[in-house]
């Protein structure tokens, strides 16, 4: 099942403007970081695993799930990863699966990469419901060689483009590109390419509160694609701790009982805003520790002085049970929640991260 004589040139970039819509599309482009790049030995594609409605907290109960798989296989040599509103991405995936069922280049019926790109582009342009928001990075190896493409919605336009350099998409893309653009080398080894992808995704989850969870990376060459070992959030924090070590005296780690109402990054920002300037706020993970379910949060302040002022608002709790509270010796009460919520606090350190990594069982919902 092919595309026929497509007018699409994979070397170029096209877009089409939606008419008569008041939708602020960027409002929903949150919750994902995708990356993709070609290097000497193949293609690397990556995505984190978070899906959340945190930006719509006033409308819905807070939901953050770190178990989402954003990759779909089209054939043994082609995959794509998606970003946007989950329901809208599901509709796009259904359209693609209907267009290209059971494809396999070994059977001679696989589409070209540009054919799939054209299909996604036409689908997004055909939408009557302008509330739908989705985009994709499509990557594969066909007769034209290795390719990475982006197709996405931006400023009332559908854009498609072939990436000549590392590409990223989603709410954390600027943070991923900061790492990719600094360290990308076409001649790097596969091991270095995989590490670069994970580091870029982790950097996005560090700064972007809508990205998080596991780091999923995939490798493609002319023999096919394969998933690489998943790196979970705590592994990533331990592995790449030195990437943000300069923020150590600006960073607080917090735990809160998951049995009560969940708190959001915005709850923490609102609480500390009168005392100090925050640089980033992020819910790292949902964990089981010492028999308790806990939310594990991280705050990064703009300066050491800001962090000190924030910590001055905490008080010692004096508790010795559960035993993990000895690692979080101080507490702060969030009065902006009803009822109020007690959060336990400590400074960031490699020792604390290694304790959490070794002792916590990650949960995903």
Mind giving me the DSSP string for 231-262?
Answer: B-HHHHHHHTGGGGGGGGGGEEEEEEETTS--
Statement: residue 185 has pLDDT above 70: yes
What is the mean predicted confidence (pLDDT) over 82-91?
82
Instruction: Read off the pLDDT of residues 7-64 as tens digits, 9 standing for 90 and up.
Output: 223 334 443 332 322 223 233 435 689 999 999 999 999 999 987 777 654 444 677 7
Across 173-202, average pLDDT: 97
Q: Alpha-carbon distance 299 to 268, whole Å?
A: 8
| Residue 268: CB atoms within 10 Å | 26
User: Residue 244: which residues within 8 A CB-CB, separation 6 or more?
Assistant: 206, 251, 300
Measured at the alpha carbon of residue 94, what is the angle toward residues 92 and 95, in degrees to the nearest 5?
A: 65
For the cut 60, the answer to whether the pLDDT of residue 320 exceeds it is yes
Q: How large is the average pLDDT for residues 214-235?
A: 96
In this structure, what token pair is assigned to residue 137?
């990075």
Q: What is the pLDDT of residue 29?
A: 35
So what's the pLDDT on residue 26?
Answer: 33
Do the beta carbons of residue 236 and residue 244 sit within 8 Å?
no
Decide which of 86 and 151 is more confident: 151
- Segment 262-265 long-range contacts (CB within 8 Å, at least 24 positions apart): 262/62, 262/64, 262/295, 263/62, 263/295, 263/297, 263/334, 263/337, 263/341, 263/343, 264/54, 264/57, 264/62, 265/54, 265/209, 265/297
pLDDT at residue 248, as a whole number: 92
For residues 35 and 24, the answer to whether their CB atoms sit within 8 Å is no
Q: Which residue has the higher pLDDT, 153 or 244?
A: 244
At 103 the pLDDT is 58
Determine the pLDDT at residue 131.
58
- Which DSSP symbol is given to 351? H
Predicted confidence band at 250 (pLDDT cuts at 50, 70, 90)?
A: very high
What pLDDT is stored for residue 3 in this prediction? 54
Question: Smallest Cα–Cα separation from 68: which of 32, 94, 92?
Answer: 32
């Amino acid at each position: 099942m092919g595309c026929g004589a497509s007018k699409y040139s994979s070397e170029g970039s096209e877009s089409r403007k939606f008419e008569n819509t008041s939708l602020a599309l960027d409002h929903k482009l949150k919750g994902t970081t995708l990356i993709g790049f070609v290097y000497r030995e193949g293609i690397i594609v990556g995505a984190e695993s978070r899906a959340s409605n945190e930006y719509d907290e006033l409308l819905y109960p807070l939901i953050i799930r770190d178990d989402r798989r954003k990759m779909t296989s089209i054939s043994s040599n082609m995959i794509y990863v998606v970003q946007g509103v989950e329901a809208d991405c599901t509709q796009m995936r259904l359209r693609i699966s209907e267009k290209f069922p059971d494809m396999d280049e070994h059977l001679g019926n696989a589409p070209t990469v540009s054919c799939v790109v054209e299909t996604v582009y036409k689908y997004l342009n055909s939408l009557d419901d302008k509330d739908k928001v989705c985009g994709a990075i499509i990557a594969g190896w066909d007769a034209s060689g290795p390719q990475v493409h982006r197709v996405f919605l931006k400023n009332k336009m559908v854009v498609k483009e072939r990436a000549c350099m590392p590409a990223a998409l989603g709410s954390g893309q600027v943070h991923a590109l900061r790492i990719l653009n600094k360290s990308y080398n076409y001649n790097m080894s596969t091991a270095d390419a995989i590490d670069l992808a994970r580091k870029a995704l982790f950097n996005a989850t560090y700064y972007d509160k809508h990205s998080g969870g596991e780091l999923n990376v995939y490798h493609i060459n002319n023999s096919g694609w394969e998933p690489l070992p998943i790196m979970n959030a705590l592994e990533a924090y331990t592995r790449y701790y030195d990437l943000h070590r300069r923020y150590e005296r600006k960073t607080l780690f917090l735990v809160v009982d998951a049995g009560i109402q969940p708190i959001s990054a915005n709850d923490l920002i609102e609480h500390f805003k009168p005392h100090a300037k925050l640089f980033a706020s992020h819910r790292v993970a949902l964990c089981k520790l010492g028999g308790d379910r806990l939310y594990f949060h991280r705050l990064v302040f703009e300066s050491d002085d800001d962090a000190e002022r924030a910590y001055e608002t905490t008080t010692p709790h004096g508790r010795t049970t559960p035993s993990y509270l000895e690692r979080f010796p101080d507490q702060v009460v969030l009065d902006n929640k009803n009822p109020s919520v007690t959060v336990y606090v400590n400074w960031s350190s490699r020792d604390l991260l290694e304790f959490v990594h070794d002792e916590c069982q990650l949960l995903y919902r």
